[in-house]
Amino acid sequence: MDKQLSPVQLVTNWVEIKEKIPVVNHGADKWFEAKVSVLLYGLRSLGDLTFEEWSKEIEPTILKLPNVEKLATKDRFCEMPILNLLSSVFAMTAGEQGFKNTDPMAKSQENLAIEILHRLIFILARYSSQDILRLIIRAQDSKDLFDVLDNDRDADWLILGIFDVLNNYSDAVLEIYKKNYVPISALVMKTIALQATFSRCLEKDASSRQNRKAALIKNEPNRKTRAFAEDLYDEKEWKSMKDGAKKIQTQVREYGKTVNWHWNDEFQAHDTIYDWIRAHKKNI
């Protein structure tokens, strides 16, 4: 599995499978890391199979590999695909220079490079594969990564910003071993800005959820009363919808009081119940 891939390619391969594979190797599959690596490196595809189905299919191939026991999961950290991805991206980017590096300053910069991956990939994990891949596909046909947007959604800007950092990640890491720490420092600053954007997204999402929850609570008496009226109307055959609305009006109004839903007068009640029934019968 020594196929050379860029950080963007590795992360994209992970995005394609991240919602289809276990977050953690709870089943203690000893070949789990090897199987995930096959998918991360794009050597095989899940296709239409579930991970469990694909796992059974690929295992005989893995068992035929030379030195197969070295591929067995031994490190508990490798039982999490997202951590497997982090180590794969950095190892492939740094290559032999990373293994040979002993310079303390370069080591500290390597730690920053790993921290960048940690923060950005864990942010990506919060977004759906569909949303991420949609932006990636649109960006592939654009000269400027940010030209693909036709709106101001913070989440879209955030995702594209992360891939912009990944596009420049390899060059920045390789500059570390030339004692040029400016590129990796620039990516650190971009990562800090992206984290701030992510925090704003979380705040907006939380506010939106609270508003939706408040709206649901506010409209609950209406929903309950409407459902009661529809069910009551369906219990019998009526001369007409208007006739049915008129005949069930008193019961519906009394029920509405029990769930804190009130009308100003009988005319408003009748018209509203009639509108509910018409919409209800139209949708059946």
DSSP letter string over 197-255? Answer: HHHHHHHHHHHHHHHHHHHHHHHHHHHHHHHHHHHHHHTS--S-HHHHHHHHHHHHHHH
Q: Percent of the chain, pLDDT > 90?
A: 36
- Band (pLDDT 50/70/90 cuts) for residue 62 is confident
Write the pLDDT tens digit of every residue in 134-145. Answer: 888 877 766 665
- Side-chain-side CA neighbours of 252 within 13 Å: the count stands at 29
DSSP E strands: which ranges in the chain?
A: none
- Band (pLDDT 50/70/90 cuts) for residue 179 is very high
Residue 44: other Cβ atoms inside 10 A: 13
Verdict on whether the full-model pTM lies above 0.85:
no
Mean pLDDT of the region 74-100: 82
pLDDT value, residue 27: 67
User: Residues near 58 by Cβ (< 8 Å), separated by ≥ 6?
Assistant: 35, 38, 44
pLDDT at 115 over 80: yes
For residue 280, give the DSSP letter. H
Write the pLDDT tens digit of every residue in 258-281. Answer: 888 888 777 788 888 888 988 888
Give yes or no for a contact between 284 and 231, defined as CB atoms under 8 angstroms apart. Answer: no
Q: 258 is written with which tokens?
A: 């029990």
- Band (pLDDT 50/70/90 cuts) for residue 206 is low
- Band (pLDDT 50/70/90 cuts) for residue 149 is low
- Band (pLDDT 50/70/90 cuts) for residue 202 is confident
Least confident residue range of 57-71, 204-218, 237-251: 204-218
pLDDT at 2 over 60: no
Q: Which residue has the higher pLDDT, 99 or 236?
A: 236
The widest CA-to-CA distance across the chain, in whole angstroms, is 90
Task: Give SS3 for 273.
Answer: helix
Mean pLDDT of the region 16-24: 91
Q: Percent of the chain, pLDDT > 70?
A: 88
pLDDT value, residue 171: 95
Between CA 262 and CA 217 the distance in angstroms is: 16
AA identity, residue 190: K
pLDDT value, residue 266: 74
Question: What average pLDDT is seen over the chain?
Answer: 85
Domain layout of the chain by residue ranges: 7-180, 219-283
